[in-house]
Structure 1
Amino acid sequence: MLKGNFFRGLGYLGEGFGLIRQPGLRLFVVIPLIINILLFGLLFYFLAELFTAMIAAAMAWLPDWAWLQALDWLFWLLYGVVILLMLAYGFVIVANLIGSPFYGYLAELTEKQLTGQEVSTDDSWSAIIKDIPRALWREVQKIAYYLPRALGLFIIGLIPVVNLVAAVLWFLFNSWMMALQYVDYPADNHKVSFPALRKLLGDTRLSALGFGLPVALAAMVPVLNLFVVPAAVCGATAYWVRENGSNTQ
């Protein structure tokens, strides 16, 4: 039986957008935001041709059946949604690889603001720099978890008719991945391993899906996806404090 509260989970991203405006958190929002703007500009440059090529390749696999040709617009829409979801999470993966040391510290500051308690006593820039290799390794673990499952869903999405189910599975999977991606920052600050985090989020899966869904949708919207990453980190920290933090004490 699924546990948690889906509608409560929906509220955490909105809370995150409120938190990133707090004076004590702005610096660690602005620095990765500048990095994300540069990154997004490069990705957007290549997006149009890549999207067209992937759609054309997928459509070429369809049999030449009359009723399938009549539903040509629907398959364009379904494949478009799947590819946009892949590209959206692809952007998030690269952005988080670059900004992960900042996001870990942003989660620390957010938790301190929410609870009034210190997570770490070393808040210097040298500590952030020293933490870069470990933060990058944590991101690699998330990518290793994501890629084989994403590949399986992508292959399913290429099968006519079955891709109707694949589109729904993609939304659910990306919502789950967004929750894993961002709640991992406060969890990592508390030395919770990535496998242990998956179990913790599984214990409140409805809340996790509720949090991850709007993050996944916002990640597909140009410009908005630049701001959603730091907001999701702050929202995920609020999620951690209220949903899972007590389970690790």
Structure 2
Amino acid sequence: MRDLGAGFSYLIKGQRWVARHGRWFGFGLIPGLITLVVYAGALIGLGYGADDLVAWATPFADDWSSPWLGLLRTTLTVLVFALGLFLAVVTFTAVTLLVGQPFYESLSEEVDRTEGGEVPESGLPLWRELWISARDSIRILVRVTLYAVLLFALGFIPVVGQTVVPVIGFCVTGYFLTEELTAVALQRRGMVLADRLVLLRGRRMLILGFGVPLGLAFLVPFVAVFLMPGAVAGATLLARDLVAPPAEDEDASPSPSPYSVNTD
């Protein structure tokens, strides 16, 4: 439980950082605004077309009597839109990071610089960084899609589908949101996707404490855009501590070597 609270604290620290550095907050808004316009149009289109899609996919129910026909198609329409919303929340970060790669790289480097210590640089040309980000985002999207399909199917289970499944869905969302956000700082430290996933799996509760509240906040229209700069800053702070070497206890005296010789 302590890690859950610690993860949430990184989210708050990131928002405080951009609040203290207003220029970087405005700089980090640009990619999110571009992506928001695209996603808003897609979700509006899905909202208008979901019922037609469900009707097309369920011709076997055309002859069903009331209320079963309406109940089936209404339920499926809600599930289709929920699935689209789930994918939008999870992929919004990936697409925004891809669009705003130069913006968020600079923001993350500035966080490292202001916090002191090493400021890693990938040393790669921009096109190479964009290619790596796009490739890793597709790999994550495949994983997310598999989870989404599974959770969509489990959503038909009575009670469990309306209680447990949404909770699992938000945990999945939060986990992969955190992966995408920490990738900005971890890629500069030379970590490939496989290594990043191993690192995050070792601190699952910490990752969920950061990502789940952020995923819930992203459900509120426009909130995602304004939280993205602080989310990148917070994820950079989180990444710094994840890869930091363990602190040594200065007060602890070193244990004697079994090979030491008493010279008294």
Q: Shorter-chain TM-score: which interval?
A: 0.7 to 0.9
Q: Which residue does the alignment assign to 2:11?
A: 13
Deviations 1:75-134 (A, max 9, x none): 6555443321211233322211111122122112112222x2241489xxxx8xx64223
SS at match of 2:106: helix
Q: Which residue does the alignment assign to 1:99?
A: 100
- Conserved in 1, the CA contact under 8 Å of 2:14 and 2:232? yes
Closer, same or farther: CA 53–196 of 1 in aligned 2, 3 Å: same
The answer as to 2:149 corresponding to 1:155 is: yes
Q: Which residue does the alignment assign to 2:183?
A: 184
Q: TM-score, normalised by structure 1?
A: 0.79
Distance in 1, matches of 2:235 and 2:46, equals: 32
The answer as to 2:230 corresponding to 1:231 is: yes
**More helix by proportion, 1 or 2?**
1
Q: Which residue does the alignment assign to 2:30?
A: 34
- Conserved in 1, the CA contact under 8 Å of 2:10 and 2:235? yes
Distance in 1, matches of 2:229 and 2:94, equals: 13
Deviations 1:30-58 (A, max 9, x none): 23412322332243234212233246535
User: What amino acid is the match of 1:117?
Assistant: G
Distance in 2, matches of 1:175 and 1:82, equals: 16
| Of 207-216 and 73-82, the range deviating more from structure 2 | 73-82
Closer, same or farther: CA 239–219 of 1 in aligned 2, 3 Å: same
- Conserved in 2, the CA contact under 8 Å of 1:28 and 1:106? yes
Unaligned runs of 5+ in 1: none
| Of 138-147 and 172-181, the range deviating more from structure 2 | 138-147
| Of 99-108 and 174-183, the range deviating more from structure 2 | 99-108
User: What amino acid is the match of 1:244?
Assistant: V
Q: Which residue does the alignment assign to 1:90?
A: 91
Distance in 1, matches of 2:38 and 2:126, equals: 23
Match of 1:57 among 41, 53, 56: 53
Distance in 1, matches of 2:121 and 2:193, equals: 23
Shift, 1:225, TM fit: 0.9
Shift, 1:246, TM fit: 2.6
Distance in 1, matches of 2:121 and 2:34, equals: 32
User: What amino acid is the match of 2:126?
Assistant: I
SS at match of 2:34: helix
Shift, 1:205, TM fit: 0.9
User: What amino acid is the match of 1:45?
Assistant: G
- Conserved in 2, the CA contact under 8 Å of 1:182 and 1:233? yes
Q: Whose radius of gyration is greater, 1 or 2? A: 2
Identity within the alignment, %: 22
Q: Which residue does the alignment assign to 2:192?
A: 193
Q: Which residue does the alignment assign to 1:139?
A: 133
Deviations 1:118-162 (A, max 9, x none): 41489xxxx8xx642232123223322222223323333146624
| Length, aligned pairs only | 236
Shift, 1:218, TM fit: 2.1
- Conserved in 1, the CA contact under 8 Å of 2:200 and 2:207? yes
